[in-house]
């Protein structure tokens, strides 16, 4: 059974006054277990829904499962460095956005061929092993001969080798959630391309993601489509925990049902959150411009250039011009667009010959290439 919560589901007849929010609707249901399916395929709306539920819903005597899928996106863990984890220039060219979630863990690629599951409980009932058992049991119920098993790292492996699911979690003071992915029919060529970063210019103390061989469930059984698997997981969740709940489809863009969720989604889209929350790191690179090797060193804190230094031969670019160029970058966001705009403004306001202007333009392109 599927219920769709719309605006009319929570409006009193005879008046336009809102009867309840989603959280009070759950209280009125009186069920110990609830299964939700997001109507959105937007990463920021779905991550906001993950934040909204433990913030606004009483989970002390209630458990919840949220099923959701996204349009193509790369999602990094709370403490990760996006310049280190993914191929940002390629993502910009492909129009694939970047998101930072509030849980830890590694970097993942989502598209419509990936299922996301979030298990919400009280902190006392937090149990990743049992949650993953729901997933593996659901898959085996569909295909008894399927070789899937959870590992001690809370991944799920196919045939003992291929990773089809990874885990991350967020523990609050009284509640917790554990979320995991499931590769059904993900575009593996894009996955491997956007998650590959061979750059060695970043020096950071952050823990990088551990690459693993992956495979889609559709590769081993063409009948294992996402909708079939989500139905099986919902059914197994009810069986495992002894619940009797319909699957409720919710729209996380609905501010009336979920007060405050728009602000949560907006906060997740800011440059300050996605890039500015990156732990401090340094950039040590050699760029070649006009057959001249230029050494570039930058310290980045909160996503901003704290210190920029360049070693450039005096006969190629005068030292006073180099100093003015680097001073322009100090304090700016470590961002190709902002760097390009700042350098363009610098070139308009500082007196220079046409030859020097051409060199500054090419130097800017070299700096932007490492971003």
- What is the full DSSP assignment across 296-337? EEEEEETTEEEEEEEE--TTTS-HHHHHHHHHHHTTSBS-HH
The span from the CA of 326 to the CA of 112, in Å, is: 43
The span from the CA of 182 to the CA of 234, in Å, is: 14
Nearest Cα residue to 238 out of 37, 70, 60, 35: 35
Domains by residue range for the chain, with CATH: 10-275 (3.30.930.10), 281-370 (3.30.390.50)
Q: Which class for 351: exposed (0-12), middle (13-18), buried (19 or more C-beta within 10 A)?
A: exposed
Q: What integer pLDDT is reported at residue 4 of this predicted model?
A: 56
Query: H/E element holding 354?
Result: helix 354-369
Report whether pLDDT(27) > 60.
yes
Do residues 248 and 5 lie in contact, with contact meaning Cβ atoms separated by under 8 Å?
Answer: yes
Residue 17 banded pLDDT, cuts 50, 70, 90: very low
pTM: 0.92
Report, as an integer, the average pLDDT of 35-46: 97
Report whether pLDDT(358) > 70.
yes
- The total of other beta-carbon atoms located within 10 Å of residue 77's CB is 20
Do residues 298 and 366 lie in contact, with contact meaning Cβ atoms separated by under 8 Å?
Answer: no
- Give the three-class secondary structure for 194: helix
Distance from the Cα of residue 270 to its chain's centroid: 13
Q: Of residues 196 and 7, which shows the higher confidence score?
A: 196
Q: What integer pLDDT is reported at residue 3 of this predicted model?
A: 47
Query: H/E element holding 140?
Result: helix 128-142
Token couple for 339: 């760097």
Task: Look over the chain and give the mean of its residue pLDDT values, rounded to a whole number.
Answer: 92
Q: What integer pLDDT is reported at residue 137 of this predicted model?
A: 98
Do residues 336 and 371 lie in contact, with contact meaning Cβ atoms separated by under 8 Å?
Answer: yes
Express as a percent the part of the chain with pLDDT over 70: 95
Report, as an integer, the average pLDDT of 294-298: 97
Q: What CA–CA distances, in Å, run from 241 to 60, 106, 141, 231, 289?
A: 15, 28, 16, 16, 63
The span from the CA of 231 to the CA of 101, in Å, is: 26
Q: Of residues 14 and 97, which shows the higher confidence score?
A: 97
The span from the CA of 80 to the CA of 348, in Å, is: 37
Report whether pLDDT(14) > 60.
no
- Measured at the alpha carbon of residue 38, what is the angle toward residues 237 and 11, in degrees to the nearest 5? 110
DSSP for residue 157: E
Report, as an integer, the average pLDDT of 155-170: 97
Three-state DSSP string of 56-71: HCCCCCCEEEEEECCC
Bridge-partner residues for 165, per DSSP?
Answer: 156
């Amino acid at each position: 059974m599927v219920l769709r919560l719309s605006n009319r589901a929570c409006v009193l007849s005879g008046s336009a006054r809102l009867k309840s929010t989603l959280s009070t609707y759950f209280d009125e249901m009186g069920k110990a277990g609830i299964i939700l399916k997001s109507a959105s395929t937007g990463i920021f709306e779905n991550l906001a829904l993950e934040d909204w539920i433990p913030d606004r819903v009483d989970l002390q005597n209630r458990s919840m499962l949220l099923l959701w899928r996204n349009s193509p996106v790369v999602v990094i863990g709370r403490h990760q460095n996006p310049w280190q984890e993914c191929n940002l220039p390629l993502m910009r060219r492909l129009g694939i956005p970047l998101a930072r979630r509030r849980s830890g863990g590694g970097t993942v690629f989502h598209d419509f061929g990936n299922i996301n599951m979030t298990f919400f409980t009280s902190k006392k009932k937090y149990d990743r092993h049992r949650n993953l058992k729901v997933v593996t049991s659901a898959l085996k119920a569909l295909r008894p001969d399927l070789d899937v098993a959870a590992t001690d790292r809370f991944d799920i492996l196919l045939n003992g080798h291929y990773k089809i699911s990874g885990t991350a979690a967020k523990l609050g003071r009284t509640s917790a959630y554990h979320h995991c992915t499931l590769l059904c029919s993900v575009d593996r060529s894009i996955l491997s391309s956007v998650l590959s970063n061979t750059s060695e210019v970043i020096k950071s103390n952050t823990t990088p993601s551990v690459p693993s061989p992956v495979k889609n469930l559709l590769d081993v059984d063409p009948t294992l489509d996402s909708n079939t698997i989500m139905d099986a997981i919902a059914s197994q969740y009810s069986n495992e925990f002894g619940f009797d709940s319909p699957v409720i489809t919710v729209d996380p863009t609905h501010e009336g049902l979920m007060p405050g969720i728009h602000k949560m989604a907006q906060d997740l889209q800011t440059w300050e959150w996605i890039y500015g929350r990156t732990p401090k790191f340094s950039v040590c690179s050699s760029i070649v411009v006009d057959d001249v090797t230029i050494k570039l060193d930058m310290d980045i804190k909160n996503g901003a250039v704290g210190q920029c230094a360049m070693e450039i031969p005096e006969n190629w670019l005068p030292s006073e011009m180099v100093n003015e160029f680097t001073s322009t970058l100090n304090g700016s966001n470590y961002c190709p667009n902002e760097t390009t705009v700042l350098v363009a403004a610098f070139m308009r306001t500082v007196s220079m010959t046409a030859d020097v202007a051409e060199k500054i333009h090419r130097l800017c392109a070299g700096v932007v290439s490492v971003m």
